[in-house]
Copies of this chain bind each other. A is one copy, B any other.
Amino acid sequence: MSVTQTEILIELSTAILRHHNDRLECRLVGEAEASLSKRLPFGPFMPDQHRTMEIGLRHWVREQVGVDLAHVEQLYTFADQGRHASGEAAHIVSVGYLALTRTPEQTLESEKQTPAEDGDWEDLYAFFPWEDWRQGRPEILDARILPALDKWLEKEPHAGDRVRLAFGRDGAQWDEEFVLERYELLYEAALVEEALIDQGKQRKHPKPALGLALHLDHRRILATALGRLRSKLKYRPVIFDLMPSGFTLRALQSTTEMVMGVNLHQQNFRRLVEKSGFLISTGRTQRARGRPAEVFRLRHNERTERPLSGLRVTAGRAKPNSP
């Protein structure tokens, strides 16, 4: 059995997320110079130096970013032709990872300004504005996305059902986990900038782009990351890997809402969390504007491995914060 003709190069790319500045943020590297935008932290997998890919990944993250990773999870391996600049000597296979990092410590209201070392953390929803339903249904959906998809569907009617399910039309429910499916459809319909670039077309901005673009397929990896995280929240306690050691229930809820992109019923969220038994009260209390809140911490925080059951949050019919 003969061997590959083109040399294969494995690129490890990581979506590193954190909750900071009251946003869900993603770490980016690279100067926003010439050609295209930023990229995820990444580096080649070098089997001679790294026993496993995760070790390699932690190496690159340590080198490019100065953060401790709380949770690391392999997402998907992409090897599509055409997603990477062709004409290169090697064929690039890209292995995407999701990593979560804990908020340093109690971000007090007073010191919200970003410290200098913070480098390049971008609001995750800047890449996917249609995924954030916390203020209600995003206008961009009805104003631009669905009309554009409808126009595309005239040429590609076979995709009608996929659009219907991914974007929750005609009775189908909006499923917040289908982040990747939605992004892929927008890519296929050439509504995101990366699609135009991959097709070699000029960037003739007929309309402003849908969300910020990223290098190569990095936004696809990011979409996979968000979808996976949203899904995983429901059955594994990964949300705590975004929290500092002590936190209020309100902070936990905000983080959850940020990830899920929807608002939750506060009292029911409290009931859910208390019943789950994950948390234990530190005697402390934290004060802000209203009544001071009890500060909790994770029970089993000695163990890094905690394959427990997750939070089972559901979007429910909670009203958006504002009109």
Contacts and interface: CB of A to CB of B under 8 A. Distances in A.
Interface stretch (A98-106, A159-167, A200-208): A159-167
What are the 8 tightest A-B residue pairs by CB atom distance, in nearest-first order?
A47-B91, A77-B77, A51-B81, A53-B79, A8-B8, A5-B48, A52-B80, A6-B47
Given A8-B10, A9-B8, A305-B162, A80 B95 contact: no
- Interface centre among A8, A48, A93, A231, by most B CB within 10 Å? A8
Interface string A63-100: 00000000000101101111000000011010100000
For the complex formed by this chain, how many copies does it contain in all? Answer: 2
Interface stretch (A28-36, A38-46, A114-122, A260-268): A38-46
Contact of A307 (B9, B77, B91, B166): B166
Contacts of A6: 47-48
A307 B175 contact: yes
A77 B79 contact: no
Interface of A: 1, 3-10, 43-48, 51-53, 74, 76-77, 79-82, 90-91, 93, 95, 161-162, 165-166, 175, 178, 181, 231, 235, 303, 305-308
Contact of A305 (B1, B93, B161, B305): B161
A314 B137 CA distance: 33
Nearest to A44: B4
